[in-house]
Structure 1
Amino acid sequence: MDTHLSEEYEALRATVEDFARREVAPVIGELYERGQFPYELVKKMGEMGLFGLPFAEEYGGMGGDYFALCLALEELARVDSSVAITLEAGVSLGAMPIYRFGSEEQKQRWLPDLCSGARLGAFGLTEAGGGSDAGATRTTARLDGGEWVVNGSKAFITNSGTDITSLVTVTAVTGAHGGRKEISAIVIPSGTAGFTVAPGYSKVGWRASDTHELFFDDVRVPEEHLLGERGRGYAQFLSILDEGRIAIAALSVGLAQGCVDESVRYAKEREAFGSPIGRYQAIQFLIADMEARAHTARLAYHHAAARMLAGEPFKKEAAIAKLVASNAAMDNARAATQVFGGYGFMNEYAVGRFYRDAKILEVGEGTSEVQRMLIARQLGL
């Protein structure tokens, strides 16, 4: 595996790094504290083509690949995770299911707006009583007169209630075979009668991102809104999650590296006992361990992405990357807070946001325990 970025990848990385520093950093603190969605930043990211990075040009995409998306996510998360998760969910969870499994008509209908960032899509898998047990889906959908009638609810759904959300793809039980649920994926446009978006959650972190509980009360959509093959919705979403774990690993690496960036800067400026604290071995070792964790996690997601793009099995590698990177993010956020001391506990400093944002990375898109289960299964246990 070649860890050297090509000229094209490096140009993208540098462009997003510059955008994050110039456009995101000056405004995100206030948006975060108000719990306000960053519409202007999303618009600018759309104009840059970030929402279309891994999609074919015929659907309005940039003709890039999944690794390009990961590089963008890492650079955004070095500054802020709310903006990064908005991009990640919009691409890998909102648009990717349609790109991977949609009919040509569905792709032509929905992907151009999603690729441009003018509209956002959401991914409705998790339910309040299910959590990691996604197969325990209770939302139902039945055919009636050429329409799907959907009833149920979804929880913790990102990008589902913004002013520019165009659709949510949900899993629903559409039948049973041999005592097993038949789970299918159905696209539900925003504003459909009976589709209710609950008020946003009061969250510990990711406060500038959009997250809601969703309710479906006799929601009717045309039969052709079935995404992919009937009864394959659960399997389709699991494959989307395998890819998404690489993206979340990249986002986690960005947060972990952002902790290093902030800590190095602060350690050079902050003086104690007559010297910058960065001259003391205790601080040096703390930051050195942070850099080692970020570096190792980056190699893990690069490896998983390389296998994915090569068409090789990558389930185990994606789980390893997600596990290692989310742990690195959490450990580095804790360490950065220690470097900053009392200031690290203040929301005006980036590390305060990093500390609040890190924990969800060990939970979302598969908990750390689920990643260990996947790794063990791939080892034949």
Structure 2
Amino acid sequence: MGKPYLLEEHAIFRKAFRQFLAQHAAPYFEQWEQDKQVPRSFWLEAGKHGFLCPWAAEKYGGAEADFAYSVIINEELSTIGAGIGGVGLHNDIVMPYVQDFGSEEQKQRWLPKAVSGEIISAIAMTEPGAGSDLAGVKTTAVKDGDQYIINGEKTFITNGYSADLVLVVCITDPQAQPIHKGISLIAVEAGTPGFTKGHKLRKVGQHANDTSELIFDNVVVPKENLIGQEGMGFYYLMQKLQQERLILAIGTGAEMKRMLDITVDYVKQRTAFGKPISKFQNTQFKLAEMATNITIGETFVDRLIQDHMAGKDIVTEVSMAKWWMTDLAQNVAVECMQLHGGYGYMEEYEIARRYRDIAVGSIYAGTNEIMKQIIAKNMGL
């Protein structure tokens, strides 16, 4: 099925990126899973080939590419493994804040190195006591002359251990009513005194995706590190969460297709009672159901991609896609593992990793329960 937002140049780009991943990611992915980190050498190689922040302006080293290139990058990364999703976060979630809300000085300072892979970025929202409720953050940034003094702790931060640049969600006006009007975004660079990174967190899945705690103990940064305007952080986050959740739905779709593909291959080879298990009606029905559901979900997401590229407000629909696709993916993972039988429970088989990796989709970028609250609110309920 053709996708109207994909042209010939996009097909050429996909082929090049797929070849790049086959050479520079696929052979090393299992080692990265063990190391709990994608090495900096991969980031630099990706930057050299133009696969980081391709949307950036030419003057910052980018190609001014449209969102369809981001779609391709996230699909192909997800086909290799969810554990390298930190690249998509850097490209399409973190650095767009700098692009859209940052000053010209900030863009010149950070974007070229984000494009080259010299800078790895992260965004620090979640805290030990604040997750989906962003208005509950406790990290503070107190203005002191020409600088801010930041104190607080963040957790579950993707790219946190590797990050050179972290956009920190913090309270700059604790007296603001409501409190979300006192939230700002402030950039903190690695090496700043008082900014320390905790150990890599031990997660159930997505092991190559380094995730850590970040601690801010009287961290002093210049006022020039404020992203956009003071007190506008919550509104910036609300604007960008549409793209973040769409990116997650896109990657989840690619992961489901990969799980289906490896399962179809497996059932054709595995025999029971004298014939391939692909010949059993139950197997065929299960695979047909999954293929249908995945296609329906992908069709919806494709429509949202077009609307997003057209600049439409699709917060409600993206919230639908995020929870629907991630819930569906968990069901697909269970069914695919079941069709692998005992071998599906073995680490040597890719489906075991996929089963672990997919679980967090319903939790991050706002839990699926939050997605349903957003939908209900926008229905006037």
In 2, are the aligned partners of 1:130 and 1:136 still within 8 Å (CA)? yes
The 1:24/1:278 distance shift into structure 2, 3 A limit, reads farther
Partner AA of 2:60 in structure 1: Y
The equivalent residue for 2:46 is 45
SS of residue paired to 1:126:
coil
Please state how far the C-alpha of 1:18 moved relative to its aligned partner: 3.5
Question: How far, CA to CA, are the matches of 1:235 and 1:127 in structure 2?
Answer: 19
Structure 1 runs, 4 residues or longer, greater than 6 Å off: none
Please state how far the C-alpha of 1:360 moved relative to its aligned partner: 0.6
Partner AA of 1:170 in structure 2: V
Write out per-residue CA displacement over residues 100-144 of structure 1, whole angstroms, 9 at most, x where no aligned residue.
110111001001111222221110111110111111110001111
SS of residue paired to 1:335:
helix
Partner AA of 1:45 in structure 2: A
Question: How far, CA to CA, are the matches of 1:332 and 1:18 in structure 2?
Answer: 27
TM-score, normalised relative to structure 1: 0.94
The 1:30/1:290 distance shift into structure 2, 3 A limit, reads farther
Q: Does residue 108 of structure 1 match 2:104? A: no
SS of residue paired to 1:356:
helix
Give 1:130-279 correspondences, 5 Å limit: 130-162=130-162, 165-175=163-173, 176-178=175-177, 180-181=179-180, 182-279=182-279
Question: How far, CA to CA, are the matches of 2:49 and 2:297 in structure 1?
Answer: 27
Please state how far the C-alpha of 1:34 moved relative to its aligned partner: 4.1
The 1:129/1:327 distance shift into structure 2, 3 A limit, reads same
Please state how far the C-alpha of 1:14 moved relative to its aligned partner: 2.9
Question: How far, CA to CA, are the matches of 1:296 and 1:320 in structure 2?
Answer: 13
Structure 2: gaps spanning 5 or more residues: none
Greater CA drift, 35-44 or 351-360: 35-44
Question: How far, CA to CA, are the matches of 1:292 and 1:42 in structure 2?
Answer: 36
Structure 1: gaps spanning 5 or more residues: none
In 2, are the aligned partners of 1:170 and 1:186 still within 8 Å (CA)? yes
The equivalent residue for 1:29 is 30
Question: How far, CA to CA, are the matches of 2:343 and 2:251 in structure 1?
Answer: 24
Please state how far the C-alpha of 1:374 moved relative to its aligned partner: 1.4
Please state how far the C-alpha of 1:345 moved relative to its aligned partner: 0.9
The 1:278/1:24 distance shift into structure 2, 3 A limit, reads farther
Partner AA of 1:168 in structure 2: V
Give 1:356-367 correspondences, 5 Å limit: 356-367=356-367
In 2, are the aligned partners of 1:252 and 1:328 still within 8 Å (CA)? no
Greater CA drift, 314-323 or 96-105: 314-323
The equivalent residue for 1:343 is 343
Write out per-residue CA displacement over residues 1-36 of structure 1, whole angstroms, 9 at most, x where no aligned residue.
973431122222333333444543332123213424
Greater CA drift, 220-229 or 307-316: 307-316
Please state how far the C-alpha of 1:355 moved relative to its aligned partner: 0.3
In 2, are the aligned partners of 1:267 and 1:278 still within 8 Å (CA)? yes
Task: Give aligned pairs, total.
Answer: 378
Please state how far the C-alpha of 1:203 moved relative to its aligned partner: 0.8
In 2, are the aligned partners of 1:253 and 1:328 still within 8 Å (CA)? no
The equivalent residue for 2:70 is 69
SS of residue paired to 1:62:
coil
Question: How far, CA to CA, are the matches of 2:335 and 2:156 in structure 1?
Answer: 28
The 1:204/1:317 distance shift into structure 2, 3 A limit, reads same
SS of residue paired to 2:52:
helix
The equivalent residue for 1:289 is 289
The 1:132/1:178 distance shift into structure 2, 3 A limit, reads closer
SS of residue paired to 1:199:
strand
SS of residue paired to 2:56:
coil
SS of residue paired to 1:154:
strand
SS of residue paired to 1:313:
coil
Question: How far, CA to CA, are the matches of 2:35 and 2:90 in structure 1?
Answer: 22
The 1:2/1:258 distance shift into structure 2, 3 A limit, reads closer
Question: How far, CA to CA, are the matches of 2:159 and 2:307 in structure 1?
Answer: 29
SS of residue paired to 1:218:
strand
The equivalent residue for 1:16 is 17
Question: How far, CA to CA, are the matches of 2:366 and 2:177 in structure 1?
Answer: 28
Greater CA drift, 114-123 or 171-180: 171-180
Greater CA drift, 371-380 or 35-44: 35-44
Please state how far the C-alpha of 1:328 moved relative to its aligned partner: 2.4
SS of residue paired to 1:119:
coil
Please state how far the C-alpha of 1:64 moved relative to its aligned partner: 1.1
Question: How far, CA to CA, are the matches of 1:89 and 1:173 in structure 2?
Answer: 23
Cα RMSD after superposing both structures: 1.8
Question: How far, CA to CA, are the matches of 1:344 and 1:277 in structure 2?
Answer: 14
SS of residue paired to 1:300:
helix
SS of residue paired to 1:198:
strand
TM-score, normalised relative to structure 2: 0.94
Please state how far the C-alpha of 1:246 moved relative to its aligned partner: 0.7
The equivalent residue for 1:121 is 121
Greater CA drift, 16-25 or 340-349: 16-25
Please state how far the C-alpha of 1:314 moved relative to its aligned partner: 1.3
Write out per-residue CA displacement over residues 39-95 of structure 1, whole angstroms, 9 at most, x where no aligned residue.
443333223322122222222222112232122211221221111x11121112321
Greater CA drift, 25-34 or 90-99: 25-34
SS of residue paired to 1:213:
strand
Question: How far, CA to CA, are the matches of 1:46 and 1:301 in structure 2?
Answer: 28
The 1:340/1:265 distance shift into structure 2, 3 A limit, reads same
